Amino acid sequence: MEDVRTLTIDRVHQGLRARQFSAGELAREALRIAEKENGKFSSYLHFCPERALEAASRVDAQIAKSEKLGELAGVPVAVKDVISTRSVRTTCGSRLLENYIPPYDATAVIRLESEGAVILGKTNCDEFAMGSSTENSAFCPVRNPVAPDRVPGGSSGGSAAAVAAGQAVVALGSDTGGSIRQPASFCGVVGVLPTYGRVSRYGLVAFASSLDHIGPLARTVKDAATVVGDRIRRGPDVFRRLGCEIREVSLPHTDYAIACYYIIATAEASSNLARYDGVRYTFRTRRDPTLLDMYRNTRGEGFGAEVKRRIILGTYVLSAGYYDAYYLKAQKVRALVARDFTEAFRSVDAILTPVSPFPAFKLGEKMSDPLEMYLSDIYTITGSLAGICGISVPCGRTSAGLPIGMQILAKHFDEHRMLRLAHAFETAGGFEV
């Protein structure tokens, strides 16, 4: 069998049709590699071999009957552990949900499996998807397969690392302010932020509901497009040397984006995480004499430092006397950020930016400085605030060999144009620039 670590979706389908391997054989080999090598990078928090083999057997039965296969038939897939999976633990990287087993699947998971995907397991992430390095996981940090002494980015660092290490062909992540695109950049893979509303959030454990997206990470643009449901046959020329006209655009309210994002996102996080109180969700740490003691002890012991920080910030900006000064004003600025993009897209088809101001940094390097960590998102949060689509594609490496990502942003529901541009860039050898 061809090395699982190098497979693409097309190569999986070619191998299945040519009977070079069965879906069951591929699933067992993918599980073996992922489980064996997980100690190196901690990409996965847990595996679901029974579910994977059941899905693979369904694909093999379809092949035996010469039935039409789904777009993801037999493809080994990893799913970020903030996305609900029926009968498989969904911890959100938090001790609070360490033993939570959802009774239902997220819509995105249902759609993957309806196309024949083989889900291997759940990937590590920053607690409740709050972080830019996956060092905030309550269980263990993830290491970047490109440079194991460095972070893979966050919060979808486990999904990005799994794809980069060949532990899955594609993976699902979630992106609130850059949590798919930034890890993709750090790990040298492709990551897609779909337009807000294109992919159902049902079954995604909420961080900031008006900003959360589910999207794919993959080795190639074509594979990412297949998961999104927009398969690419050809691509146009890109960049000036290939005939594109390059123009500068103005996004004047970008200077306020970081402050705007961290007000809105923390406010929504404070509201969404209020349910984890020891009554409706999560464990109770002990027998407490009062209700207040129970809340304090459950949340104090269950949440990590970064989640607590964001809950406190969010509660503050929503409190009496500060709501208008912070939260309401931030929502007005968000509208201005969105308007900037609307105006820019009147004159251009897509916007190119860096993904991050720096490449993957060393483990522990920024943990003591939350503000510097938040600046990791400076190029990605504007697209999140506007609700438009974006993609991170590898565009080269630093002198130290670390991957660099380029971001392509497009207007609402214009994923097709965005993916064509990214595919053309990839085809032209742009990944090796």
AA letter at 74: G
Peptide bond into 155 cis (omega under 30): yes
In the numeric block, the tokens 């993801």 are attached to 72
Catalytic residue among 42, 80, 185, 222: 80
416-420 long-range contacts (CB < 8 A, ≥24 apart) are 416/230, 417/349, 417/350, 418/350, 418/389, 418/390, 418/391, 419/192, 419/221, 419/224, 419/225, 419/228, 419/230, 419/232, 419/391, 420/232, 420/234, 420/235, 420/236
Separation between Cα atoms, residue 51 and residue 49, nearest integer Å: 5
Residue 82's nearest CA partner among 218, 216, 205 is 205
Q: Is 80 a known active-site residue?
A: yes
Residue 344 CA neighbour count, 13 Å, CB half: 26
Separation between Cα atoms, residue 391 and residue 116, nearest integer Å: 25
AA letter at 259: A
Catalytic residue among 22, 133, 179, 356: 179
Catalytic residue among 22, 43, 137, 155: 155
Q: What are the catalytic residues?
A: 80, 155, 179
